[in-house]
Every structure is written in C-alpha cells, then in structure tokens.
Amino acid sequence: MKQQLSPRSILSVSDLTGFELFEIIERATELKPQIKSHHTISTLYGQVIGLLFEKPSTRTRASFETATRRLLGEPVYLSSSELQTSRGERPEDTARILGSYFDAIVARVHSHKTLEDLARFGGVPIINALSDLEHPTQAISDLFTIFETKGRMRGLRLAFIGDGNNVCNSLLLSSALIGMNMTVACPEGYEPKAEVLDKATMLAKETGSSIEVVSEPKEATEGSDVIYTDVWVSMGEEDERNKRIKDFAAYRVDRELLSCAKPNALVMHCLPAHRGEEITEEVISGVNSVVWQQAENKLYGAGAVLEFLLARDILEEKIAPLL
C-alpha cells in the first residue's frame, strides 16, 4: 500500500524556511491591493476551511474567515464549546472526522498538543491560530507590516517588551529565520521557553542575526527599529492577574521608553491592548504606532498562508507562463 505523506501544516513559524516565510510575505504584499480593490481572486475556489476556536478571537477568526471568502473558499466556524469534545469525545476522533470534511483547519487552542493531534490524525493542513506556545500567523503578518513600512527586515532591530509568551516565541523564531535582530526585555521568571530560545539562536546563527534576552526595557529598546509589546495577562492566565500586574509594572511601553528607540521606530502590538498596562494611550495612538495597519494586515497574511498550503500549484501555474 502506498504510504500517505502528512500534508504540510503550520503549527510553528519554524515549520517554514526563511525563504518560504519571505514568499508568504511577498504574496501578502500582492494580495493587499487586490483584495482592497475587490479584484476577483479564486485561488481557494471549492475549498472548505474549518475554523476551530477554543478561545475568543476578534482579529484572527475574522481575518481567516474573510480571507477564505475573498479567495472564493468557504469557511465553517466551530466553537469548541458546541463540539462533542466539550462532553469528552477524544481529540483524535474529532480530528479524523473534521479532517474528512474540511480541506484545512485553522485552530486556536489552549494546549499546543491539541494542534499536534489535529495534524497527526486530521490528514489535512492545520494552521495554528494561537496556542499556549506560539502565534505563528500573527508573526507572519507582523513581519509583513515591518517589510511594508520599512522596505526590509534583515538587519533591523526589534525590541519585545513584556511577557515571553506565545507571540514573543513566534516573533523570535521568525526574526531568526528572516535575519532580523531581536531583544526581549522581561522580568525574571517570564523569559521565553528555553526550547524556543535555543531554536531561535540556532536559526539566527544561520542568518547572521542576534537573539537576546535582558531584564532592562531600556537596554532592549536602545536604537531599535521596532518596539513591540503584548498583554501582560494572556488568555488562560487570568488567575495570575494581580501578581503579573505587579511583576510587569516596569515594562510599560510609554513615551520615555519609546524615546530610547530610533525616532522613526515602529510601535507594534498584536492587540487586544490594555491601555495603561503594557502600553500607554499616548504611545498606542502616537505617530510611531502602526497597530491598526498591523491588524488590517492579518487579513492579507491569512490569505497568503491559506494559499501557501492549499493553492501553491495554482499560483505557480499562473506565474510560470510569465517567466
């Protein structure tokens, strides 16, 4: 019997090579004006995409759902609270069934292991729409925003201020893959996972970039091209809220911290933002902030990711006659 190869999935941003990451960013760049002008793009025609969400989402769900429709595919949203998994059905059984209905599954999960089960038993591409470990599609569209605004990524310096969380992990790996330097400033005990740091450091060696973790926000921000922050209390960490608010008090992105970065530095935040906690109103609404552009770009990033996994052959056919 012919052995079936597992289809490509994106559970971690490091499931891509630096070249592939750049290919997705370039495609997002092409898709943006086409989608904005309602140009007909049919790359996902006939494909049904399952969107399985165990946690709330405004941007990621809406951008994947809209991207699927804009590329003429069909999205089907499933809230985990309405699935039989909420009454004890095994994740691998759910994965087998959903994989037999959908052409790909975009999933936001509590535990990264659920994504691995989906990928192992689903038989279709799985896209991580946020787990406890990573948020790869966020990092992909964020790199697109940096590329769109600065015209390059390689050699830039990104300072991440705050929690070494899922968003930070994916930014570390994608910065390393693309050759961007990244410094994380976080309180002791909130560093990114050692396995992610090791992998990012290894990838950074290949692209000649640097990955650092420091405790002083100003040290990370000094001379940076991008200053990025995320919430201090991620989804599922609500019980730790009081402790976290105290522990992160010195890690707020405010006017003083921003003044350490280059004058034209970009201020980025994946959103949702908690003004007065990780970022001030003045900075998020200031001239350096690109957060709304960044959120809009999730739509084109989502489209490019879906096409990368489901329609690469169509894109190659379209491009080939032009070569």
Q: Contact residues for ligand NVA (CB under 6 A)? A: 130, 165-167, 230-231, 234-235, 270
**What does residue 75 show for φ and ψ, rounded to 5 degrees?**
-90, 145
DSSP class of residue 3?
P
Query: What are the Cα distances from residue 160, in Å, to 36, 45, 189, 305?
Result: 30, 39, 16, 24
Nearer to ligand NVA, 36 or 113 (CB): 113
C-beta separation of 122 from 99 below 8 A: yes
Part of the chain binding ligand CP (CB under 6 A), chosen from 41-49, 51-59, 68-76, 111-119: 51-59
Which of ligand NVA, ligand CP, none has residue 231 at its interface (CB below 5 to 8 Å by kind)? ligand NVA
Least distance in angstroms from the C-beta of 312 to ligand NVA: 27
- The edge-to-edge listing of strands for the beta sheet with 126-128 is 74-79, 48-53, 104-108, 126-128
Q: Are strands 157-161 and 181-185 parallel, antiparallel or unpaired?
A: parallel
How far is residue 109's CA from residue 117's CA, in Å, rounded to a whole number? 11
How far is residue 131's CA from residue 114's CA, in Å, rounded to a whole number? 9
Least distance in angstroms from the C-beta of 272 to ligand NVA: 7
Nearer to ligand NVA, 42 or 79 (CB): 79
Closest residue by beta carbon to ligand NVA: 234
Residues near 192 by Cβ (< 8 Å), separated by ≥ 6?
Answer: 164, 165, 168, 169, 172, 184, 186, 200, 213
- What is the Cα 170 distance to its own chain's centre? 6
Q: Hey, is 319 helix, strand or coil?
A: helix
Least distance in angstroms from the C-beta of 233 to ligand NVA: 8
Least distance in angstroms from the C-beta of 222 to ligand CP: 27
How far is residue 187's CA from residue 217's CA, in Å, rounded to a whole number? 9
Nearer to ligand NVA, 165 or 181 (CB): 165
Nearer to ligand NVA, 10 or 98 (CB): 10
Which of ligand NVA, ligand CP, none has residue 165 at its interface (CB below 5 to 8 Å by kind)? ligand NVA
- The answer to the question of residue 60 lying near ligand CP (CB under 6 A) is yes
Nearer to ligand CP, 212 or 237 (CB): 237
Polymer length of the chain:
323
- Residues in region 241-280 near ligand CP by CB under 6 A: 270-271
Token digits for 274?
Answer: 């908690």
C-beta separation of 68 from 75 below 8 A: yes
Which of ligand NVA, ligand CP, none has residue 27 at its interface (CB below 5 to 8 Å by kind)? none
Token digits for 275?
Answer: 């003004």
Closest residue by beta carbon to ligand CP: 60
Which of ligand NVA, ligand CP, none has residue 58 at its interface (CB below 5 to 8 Å by kind)? ligand CP
Among positions 59, 70, 157, 244, the unique one binding ligand CP when judged by CB under 6 A: 59
Least distance in angstroms from the C-beta of 32 to ligand CP: 18
Query: What are the Cα distances from residue 244, in Å, to 8, 21, 149, 188, 249?
Result: 37, 33, 33, 12, 8
Nearer to ligand NVA, 183 or 234 (CB): 234
Nearer to ligand CP, 50 or 179 (CB): 50
Nearer to ligand NVA, 9 or 169 (CB): 169
Query: How many residues interact with ligand CP (rule CB under 6 A)?
Result: 8
How far is residue 178's CA from residue 270's CA, in Å, rounded to a whole number? 19
Least distance in angstroms from the C-beta of 167 to ligand CP: 8
Give the binding site for ligand CP (CB under 6 A): 57-60, 130, 138, 270-271
